C-alpha cells in the first residue's frame, strides 16, 4: 500500500490533532520578522481566539484534540506543528518505544500527561534552530515517550522544525529549507519514512516555514504563495500539484496558507480576499474563517497551532 493511502489528506477517519493552550504564550523574543517585543500579544484575546479554534475543530468539524500541557518559559510551545513529524498511521513500526539518540542527549524533564491510544506510532522530533526554542525539545520528547511513541531524532548537525517544514502531498513529502530547517535533513527523512521527499528552498524571510506559504488541500489542490520560493522550488511545486491556487502577497501576509484542512473544510485566518474565497468555493471547499490575529504577532496562525497525530 502506498503512502498516498495512509496520509492524513486521504484518511476517512476523524483526525487527531495535538494542541497546547496558550497559558504562557507571549512575545518573549524576536526570531522571525513578525515578532517584535514592542508589539506584545494581548493574553486574554489570545486565549479567546485559541478557544474559538479549539471549539471549531472539536464541536463543528469532529476533530479529536489531545492537549499538550503548557509550560512556563517556553511561550512558543503553543505552536505544536513545530514539535515534530508523525509518520502516517500505517507506517507505525511495531509497538515498542525506541529512541534513536544522535547528537543531543536527553536530560531530566518533569513528566507530563500524555495521549493514550498512540502506542507504536513514530514521531521524528524537531531539532530547533534557535536556542530560544531548543528548550522545547526535551519537553516534547518526554511527552511523546510517555505516550508510547517511538522517538526518532535526526543528526544534531541538521536543524529540522517538524510539520512546519514538512507537508504531505499525496505520496510525496514536500520539505522546506533554509530559514529553520537544513536541506540535507531531507535525505534522513526519506530514509526514515521510506518515501519520496522533495526539498524546496524558501526565499522570503517572512515565510520562514513551509506551512506559512504552502497548504495541501486535497490530493490535487494546494494553496501557495509563489513569491516565497526560489525558481527551482516553484517548478517543483508546479510539477507536483495538479491544481495549485496561487495567493496574492496581501493574502499571503494574512497567513491564509497557514490553514488547516479536514476533508473539504478549510480553517483559515480571517481577512482573505474575495477572490480567494471564490476560488475555494468553485472547487467545493467550505471555508471556516477564524480570527487568530494575536498569534500572527508571533508569525503563526491556524496550522501552526496543531500537529496532526493521525
Average pLDDT, the chain: 90
8 Å CB contact between 84 and 118: no
The domains of the chain, with CATH numbers, are 3-308 (3.75.10.10)
Q: Would you say residue 114 has pLDDT above 80?
A: no
Catalytic residue (choose from 213, 215, 257, 304): 304
Provide the pLDDT confidence category of residue 89 given band limits of 50, 70 and 90. low
Please tell me whether the overall predicted TM-score, pTM, comes out greater than 0.85 for this model: yes
The tens digit of pLDDT for each residue in 160-215 reads 999 999 999 999 999 999 999 999 999 999 999 999 999 999 999 999 999 999 99
pLDDT for 120 equals 78
Cell matching residue 146: 510517555
With 60 as the cut, is the pLDDT of residue 3 above it?
A: no
209 is catalytic: yes
Residue among 186, 209, 213, 288 flagged as catalytic: 209
**Mean pLDDT, residues 123-135:** 98
What is Dmax (Cα atoms) for the chain? 52
pLDDT tier for residue 116 given thresholds of 50, 70 and 90: low
DSSP string, 144-199: HHHTTPEEEE--TTS-B-GGGSEEEETTEEEEEESSSS-TTHHHHHHHHHTSEEEE
Phi and psi at residue 16, to the nearest 5°: -120, 125
Q: What is the percent of the chain with per-residue pLDDT over 70, rounded to a whole number?
A: 86
* pLDDT reported for residue 182: 98
> What whole-number distance in Å separates Cα of residue 263 and Cα of residue 119?
25
Place of cell 526518532: 152
Mean pLDDT of 10-26: 86
Amino acid at each position: 500500500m502506498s503512502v498516498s493511502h495512509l496520509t492524513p489528506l486521504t484518511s476517512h477517519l476523524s483526525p487527531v490533532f495535538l494542541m497546547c493552550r496558550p497559558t504562557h504564550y507571549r512575545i518573549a523574543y524576536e526570531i522571525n520578522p513578525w515578532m517584535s517585543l514592542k508589539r506584545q500579544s494581548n493574553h486574554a484575546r489570545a486565549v479567546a481566539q485559541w478557544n474559538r479554534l479549539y471549539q471549531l475543530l472539536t464541536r463543528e468539524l469532529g476533530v479529536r484534540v489531545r492537549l499538550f500541557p503548557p509550560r512556563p518559559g517556553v511561550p512558543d510551545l503553543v505552536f505544536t506543528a513545530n514539535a515534530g513529524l508523525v509518520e502516517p498511521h500505517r507506517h507505525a513500526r511495531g509497538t515498542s518505544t525506541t529512541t534513536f539518540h544522535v547528537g543531543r542527549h536527553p536530560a531530566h524533564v518533569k513528566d507530563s500527561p500524555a495521549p493514550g491510544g498512540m502506542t507504536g506510532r513514530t514521531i521524528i522530533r524537531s531539532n530547533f534552530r534557535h536556542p530560544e526554542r531548543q528548550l522545547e525539545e526535551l519537553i516534547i520528547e518526554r511527552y511523546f515517550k510517555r505516550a508510547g511513541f517511538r522517538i526518532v531524532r535526526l543528526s544534531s548537525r541538521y536543524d529540522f522544525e517538524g510539520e512546519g517544514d514538512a507537508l504531505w502531498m499525496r505520496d510525496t513529502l514536500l520539505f522546506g529549507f533554509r530559514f529553520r530547517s537544513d536541506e540535507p535533513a531531507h535525505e534522513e527523512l526519506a530514509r526514515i519514512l521510506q518515501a519520496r521527499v522533495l526539498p524546496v528552498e524558501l526565499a522570503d524571510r517572512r515565510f520562514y516555514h513551509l506551512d506559512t506559504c504552502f497548504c495541501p488541500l486535497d490530493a490535487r489542490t494546494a494553496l501557495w504563495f509563489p513569491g516565497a520560493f526560489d525558481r527551482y522550488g516553484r517548478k517543483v511545486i508546479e510539477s507536483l500539484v495538479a491544481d495549485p491556487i496561487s495567493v496574492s502577497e496581501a493574502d499571503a501576509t494574512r497567513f491564509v496558507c497557514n490553514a488547516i484542512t479536514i476533508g473539504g473544510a478549510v480553517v483559515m485566518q480571517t481577512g482573505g480576499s474575495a477572490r480567494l474565497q471564490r476560488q475555494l468555493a468553485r472547487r467545493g471547499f467550505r471555508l471556516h474563517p477564524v480570527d487568530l490575529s494575536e498569534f500572527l504577532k508571533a508569525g503563526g496562525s491556524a496550522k501552526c497551532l496543531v500537529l496532526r497525530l493521525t
